[in-house]
A and B are shown apart, each in its own frame.
Chain A
């Protein structure tokens, strides 16, 4: 990257390090931090909406819908989450291919599960065999996002379900006394007020989501864990201009620092958000703010 980097073997000390840390591969490593942030940016809202609909379903007066919502919420409990991650990635992939297979090749008569193989017709393959590399990567990434959203949606549904029940009953009754319908009280009274009750749970969930991002590696995405393993391994002079020993420990130490900083920043930010949301609310936090000397 720098002009003095043309002959790395002649360099030493800090200049060597500055060249080493700006190689093309390192740029890919830094970009993978972007992958993690992108995953968080997409997953958080999607999981939140999954959770919202899950909680709405669980509250529903329609019995089957309520069962579905409650089953979704309790689905992820009691079982290690990583089992779900490993499961959904294959299961979703096969489900998509199976659906496309039904649509695109209706006259296919061989069974799809042949012994230990899962066989669908060529046109139903996802992504198509001749697709460029980026399509494969994007497909893998979207599968990961969907998996995260399903698992974390169940957690969020649990939190939101509790928050919806925490809104004081009197508030809803007041709405009903003013002649609002069930739908109106839900959208105008319950939903605006539930967030302050949901926030402690949701911020906890956000922390957990941050700490779950390294599991992307298990889903086959080239994320920071993948690159840290890749770059840290010992390199011989034959294959690289920057030979070094086994530095994986240092790369993972860097990841640790990254995550610690990230959770710390989130913690500070969420604390401020909680302060703002409690303003004027009928909770102990809101009460403390009201009484505090200006």
Chain B
């Protein structure tokens, strides 16, 4: 099987394992599928890590934005405005060149100029800002009765937040947060087009698709392959988040479940 050999050569090419040279001519469909698929490793890496880390920061920022003290509220508002008001593409460029000049001054910043860390940080902050806005909106639309009931039971402070406010926030925010997760995975395709170098041609799915499209001058094969992989990824996200949504709503009668309405469409 010729294709198996290709998969062995290029299946993990995106993280530097296997054949060093990319195919140069006589591109087969198998090569394109394998190499673009191996690029998906990076998309999943960026998306998953920044989503996980961003979730925690987003919660903190959302609570800070809802705080009464201006010392907490103002920085949170500015953070959200900064990352939601400017294009992710320009944020990537800015961060890359910022790290590049910091690297000149302190050697500590050397790994930051590589995509695996630098771009991850940008994506992390970006998704934290977008998610924080979603969580903040949910935090403000918690039914008044829920909080009053908690008060009536004598719950205060941290206990009230952990047992009543936060679970309801998550429940309300979850459909919008699912969309945010999907956008985030889509946004990971920008990384290698925005200054961060693909060292030794280790890039993400779109990087390889672009490579093939440049070499064959035929966009009709590599880009649909990327689309195929991303539709698979999107369906997986919808499945996983749908499960979590069911878990969050498990105490409610069936018809009161907040439905997941998936609208993955926004660029940033």
Contacts and interface: CB of A to CB of B under 8 A. Distances in A.
Interface of A: 76-84, 86-87, 90-91, 94, 113, 116-118, 155, 158, 204, 208, 210-215, 217-218, 225, 228-229, 232, 246, 248-249, 252-253, 255-256, 259-260, 263-264
B209 A83 contact: yes
A80 B90 CA distance: 17
Instruction: Give the most central of B91, B186, B263, B265: most A CB within 10 Å.
Output: B265
Nearest to A261: B85
A113 B218 contact: yes
B197 interface: no
Contacts of B85: 259-260, 263-264
Nearest to A119: B217
Interface string B223-235: 1001100110010
Contact of B206 (A77, A83, A155, A249): A83
Q: What class of interface size applies to chain B in its complex with A?
A: 35 or more
Question: Which DSSP category, helix, strand, loop or mixed, fits chain B's interface?
Answer: helix
Interface string B185-205: 011011001000000000000
B105 to A, nearest CB: 12
A77 to B, nearest CB: 5
Contacts, number: 129
B97 A86 contact: no
Interface in B44-97: 81-82, 85-91, 93-94, 97
Contacts of B193: 82, 218
A118 B218 CA distance: 8
13 contacts: A77-B265, A78-B182, A80-B230, A82-B193, A82-B206, A86-B213, A87-B223, A116-B25, A208-B268, A248-B100, A249-B97, A249-B100, A255-B90
B107 interface: no
A249 B82 contact: no
Nearest to B217: A118
Given A80-B186, A82-B193, A249 B209 contact: no
Contacts of B97: 232, 246, 248-249, 252
